[in-house]
């Protein structure tokens, strides 16, 4: 079984892009257009990894990560910020809030899957699952 990955992203084009890349690699994808739906899907869908935009209506990415990190069983699930906030200090801000990684938009589609797989156990990876 490959990992289940939740995408929380309000820009539908960006969501489509991530979803398409992940599905093409063989992952099961859950999609949420804002943080509040994202939180609900996280609890219902039990994803192995979450990609989350930062600036979103209703509940933003920082609020999502804080809400999830408060709960014991969400402390270890990899949470990756994928955001167009990429000015000096934005990365630190995201990591401080509790994200494991900060990937800035525009993403590089050629290397994106490898970037996030660094945060998945080998058995759940699409690309490198048979190595090592």
| Binder among 76, 110, 130, 131 for other proteins (CB under 8 A) | 110
| Binder among 3, 7, 17, 116 for other proteins (CB under 8 A) | 17
Cis upstream peptide for 32 (omega within 30°): no
Min dist CB 113 to other proteins, Å, is: 10
In the DSSP assignment, the letter for residue 4 is E
Largest separation between any pair of C-alpha atoms in the chain: 43
Query: C-alpha angle with apex 60: 58 to 65, nearest 5 degrees?
Result: 130
| Residue 60 interacts with other proteins (CB under 8 A): yes or no | no
| Residue 59 interacts with other proteins (CB under 8 A): yes or no | no
Extract the tokens encoding 97: 């809030």
In terms of CB distance, is 41 or 56 closer to other proteins? 56
CA distance 132 to 115: 18
| Residue 20 interacts with other proteins (CB under 8 A): yes or no | yes
| Binder among 26, 57, 109, 122 for other proteins (CB under 8 A) | 109
| Residue 2 interacts with other proteins (CB under 8 A): yes or no | no
- Centroid of chain to Cα 83: 10
Residues in contact with other proteins by the rule CB under 8 A: 11, 13-14, 16-17, 20-21, 24, 55, 84-89, 104-110
């Amino acid at each position: 079984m490959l990992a289940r990955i939740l995408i929380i992203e309000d820009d539908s084009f960006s969501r489509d892009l991530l979803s398409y890349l992940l599905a093409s690699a063989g992952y099961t994808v859950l999609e949420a257009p804002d943080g509040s739906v994202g939180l609900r899907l996280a609890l219902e869908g039990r994803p192995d990894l979450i990609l989350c935009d930062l600036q979103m209506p209703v509940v933003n990415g920082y609020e999502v990560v804080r809400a999830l990190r408060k709960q014991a069983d969400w402390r270890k699930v990899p949470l990756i910020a994928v955001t167009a906030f990429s000015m000096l200090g934005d990365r630190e801000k995201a990591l401080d809030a509790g994200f494991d990684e900060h990937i800035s938009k525009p993403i590089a589609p050629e290397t994106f899957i490898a970037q996030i797989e660094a945060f998945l156990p080998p058995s759940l990876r699409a690309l490198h699952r048979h190595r090592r």
